Amino acid sequence: MNQKLLLSRKAACNVHGQDSSYFLGWQEFEKNPYDPITNPGGMIQMGLAENQLSFDLIESWLHSHPDAAGFKKDGALIFRELALFQDYHGLPAFKSALAKFMGEVRGNRVTFEPSKLVLTAGATSANETLMFCLAEPGEAFLLPTPYYPGFDRDLKWRTGAEIVPIHCSSSNGFRVTKVALEAAHRHAQKRGLRVKGVLVTNPSNPLGTTMTRQELDTLIDFVLAKDVHLISDEIYSGTSFDSPEFVSIAEAIKDRDDVAHRVHIVCSLSKDLGLPGFRVGAIYSGNDAVVSAATKMSSFGLISSQTQYLLAALLSDDEFTRKYILENRRRIKERHDLLVEGLRRIGIRCLDSNAGLFCWVDMRHLLNSNTFKGEMELWRKIVYQVGLNISPGSSCHCDEPGWFRVCFANMSEHTLNLSMQRLKNFVDSGEHRSTHDSGHRSPRRQFLAKWVLRLSALPAAVTA
């Protein structure tokens, strides 16, 4: 029996996007992961936008707050209540704490009402849920390029929605312009797709930049004119570490009743707090019908009650959140600067960025040809010869070949320095100019260049 006929079309297709190079790089990493002691010649993971810099702050909070651990409220055991709690409205204490935290991350320039929050199993689920609420199968959302590769799965796969790109270019720092928005909208119509909204990520993944006030206003004017929705994925809001200050869409639409019901914000604790394992996401919407529908849909991915309980305690602690937000930003900036400087010494520039857990790196000058084929060639060399898993811009739907996303917050300082050393040697050796395609050999049998191994044999500093 034909396997594919047995299953649904969704199961048989590849809209989940896991055949893309973004995920292939991860797979290669998994076969040969770097470890300072057991595998110093292995691949360094720079394709994972994780924040591993500030766990110690949370751990030390846990040490001084045993009640959150022991499911005790004022000494009384509440385990039973928690074990049974599956109300899709969420634990009230957690929603209040999350709403407060969201405000704090935005410098308390806006406040959020718990009643407009819908809890979801991570931002992955939040984005999909919004699509189910706002778009019919075959309808489209406009997204500025480059964008997070996971959106192809999260927004389109099971919903049947379409993504139409808003083309952004390096000529203006990849900013979203009115012209580009209009062009995208026209293009969608030409394809016979009804546009239901625009989805932006702010701060941007993969750019690491925050949107200017003008960009936000342009977006608002556009969605009003076209009578569509605006989704702002702000999961990196807590990672903005430098000026210009992050401006949330919530601020831009403050006191604008004509627009609040079309604006929906997606949040998560995966990036800001570095807790992706806990699956904590949320939708914040000014539209009651969306809140209502999304709340019912959240049944398919509620947040574990014990996790809600722990985080309610953590985030309610004003002193902790205040200190954490500041210190976390400081560490991200420090690490970002290290990467930027390290690249600069190799003659490689990054897009100026003030947020995120990655840099948008310009390697166009290292391409053999200014094509995506050239980009893939370079990428394969960097993955297989240099042993760095970075993400090629094409996997993020970038229009221009030669850009790469490089993450810096998921490793120790030592590892980051090592990766820069490897890259420097690669560039200095002129290997990038070689036309030998190294991608076909199995990486397990692949010998990394001798100089990589030599480098890796240097005594490892204590990992952070």
Partner 1 sequence: MRMYGEEHPNQQILSRIATNDGHGENSSYFDGWKAYENDPFHLTGNPKGVIQMGLAENQLSLDLIQDWMKKNPQASICTEEGVSEFKAIANFQDYHGLRAFRKAIAQFMEKVRGGRARFDPDRIVMSGGATGAQETIAFCLADPGEAFLIPTPYYPGFDRDFRWRTGVQLLPIHCHSSNKFKITHAALETAYRKAQNSHIRVKGVLVTNPSNPLGTTMDRETLRTLLSFVNEKRIHLVCDEIFSGTVFDKPCYVSVSEVIEDDPYCDRDLIHIAYSLSKDLGVPGFRVGVIYSYNDAVVCCARKMSSFGLVSSQTQHLLASMLGDEEFTTSFLATSRRRLCRRRRVFTEGLKRVGIHCLDGNAGLFCWMDLRPLLKEATVEAELRLWRVIINDVKLNISPGSSFHCSEPGWFRVCFANMDDKAMEIALMRIKIFVYRENDAAVPAKNKRRWDETLRLSLPRRFEDLTIMTPHLMSPHSPLVQAAT
Query: From the CB of 176, what's the least distance to partner 1, in Å?
Result: 21
Instruction: Give the Cα separation of 352 and 350 in Å (integer).
Output: 6
Query: From the CB of 344, what's the least distance to partner 1, in Å?
Result: 30
Strands (E), 224-327: 229-233, 263-268, 281-285
- Is the backbone of residue 42 left (phi > 0), alpha (psi -120 to 50) or beta? beta
In Å, the largest CA–CA distance within the chain is 69
Which of 95, 116, 156, 271 is flagged as catalytic?
A: 271
Compare residues 114 and 301 and give the one whose CB is closer to partner 1. Answer: 301
Binding span for partner 1 by CB under 8 A among 206-214, 243-251, 287-295, 332-340: 287-295
Residue 37 interacts with partner 1 (CB under 8 A): yes or no: no
Residue 279 interacts with partner 1 (CB under 8 A): yes or no: yes
Compare residues 133 and 427 and give the one whose CB is closer to partner 1. Answer: 133
Residue 170 CA neighbour count, 13 Å, CB half: 17
Query: From the CB of 218, what's the least distance to partner 1, in Å?
Result: 19
Binding span for partner 1 by CB under 8 A among 238-246, 304-312, 333-341, 411-419: 304-312
Compare residues 209 and 295 and give the one whose CB is closer to partner 1. Answer: 295
Comparing CA positions, the residue from 408, 389, 420, 406 lying closest to residue 53 is 408
- Is the backbone of residue 421 left (phi > 0), alpha (psi -120 to 50) or beta? alpha
Which residues within the stretch 117-176 sit at the binding site for partner 1 (CB under 8 A)?
121-122, 124-125, 128, 132-137, 153-154, 158
Instruction: Give the Cα separation of 109 and 89 in Å (integer).
Output: 26
Which residue in 239, 268, 270, 446 binds partner 1 (CB under 8 A)? 270
Does residue 271 have an active-site annotation?
yes
Which residues within the stretch 354-373 sit at the binding site for partner 1 (CB under 8 A)?
none
Q: What is the x/- site pattern for partner 1, positions 6-25, by CB under 8 A?
A: xxxxxx----x-x-------
Residue 453 interacts with partner 1 (CB under 8 A): yes or no: no
Residue 73 interacts with partner 1 (CB under 8 A): yes or no: no
Which residue in 35, 79, 217, 434 binds partner 1 (CB under 8 A)? 79
Comparing CA positions, the residue from 98, 97, 107, 352 lying closest to residue 246 is 107
Handedness of CA 353, 425, 146, 33 (dihedral sign): negative
Comparing CA positions, the residue from 359, 350, 316, 304 lying closest to residue 93 is 316
First and final C-alpha spacing in the chain: 54
Please report where in the chains the tokens 């999961």 appear, as a residue. Answer: 235
Query: From the CB of 260, what's the least distance to partner 1, in Å?
Result: 9
Residue 274 interacts with partner 1 (CB under 8 A): yes or no: yes
Instruction: Give the Cα separation of 304 and 323 in Å (integer).
Output: 26
Which residues within the stretch 174-203 sit at the binding site for partner 1 (CB under 8 A)?
196
Q: What is the DSSP letter of 130?
A: H
Which residue in 44, 82, 166, 247 binds partner 1 (CB under 8 A)? 82
Residue 76 interacts with partner 1 (CB under 8 A): yes or no: no
Which of 22, 34, 147, 148 is flagged as catalytic?
A: 148
Apex CA 335: angle with CA 331 and CA 338, to 5°? 145
DSSP track, 338-372:
HHHHHHHTTT-EE---SSSSEEEEE-GGG-SSSSH
Query: From the CB of 74, what's the least distance to partner 1, in Å?
Result: 17
Comparing CA positions, the residue from 11, 125, 33, 6 lying closest to residue 456 is 33
Binding span for partner 1 by CB under 8 A among 268-276, 339-347, 416-424, 451-459: 268-276
Residue 413 interacts with partner 1 (CB under 8 A): yes or no: no
Which of 235, 249, 265, 303 is flagged as catalytic?
A: 235
Instruction: Give the Cα separation of 433 and 234 in Å (integer).
Output: 39
Binding span for partner 1 by CB under 8 A among 221-229, 243-251, 428-436, 441-449: 221-229
Which residue in 33, 42, 81, 376 binds partner 1 (CB under 8 A)? 81
Which residues within the stretch 324-353 sit at the binding site for partner 1 (CB under 8 A)?
none
CB 314 within 8 A of CB 170: no
Residue 411 interacts with partner 1 (CB under 8 A): yes or no: no
Query: From the CB of 50, what's the least distance to partner 1, in Å?
Result: 6
Which residues within the stretch 51-70 sit at the binding site for partner 1 (CB under 8 A)?
52, 55, 58-59, 62-63, 66, 68-70
By three-state DSSP, how is residue 293 classified? helix
The number of residues that bind partner 1 (CB under 8 A) is: 80
Catalytic residue list: 148, 233, 235, 271
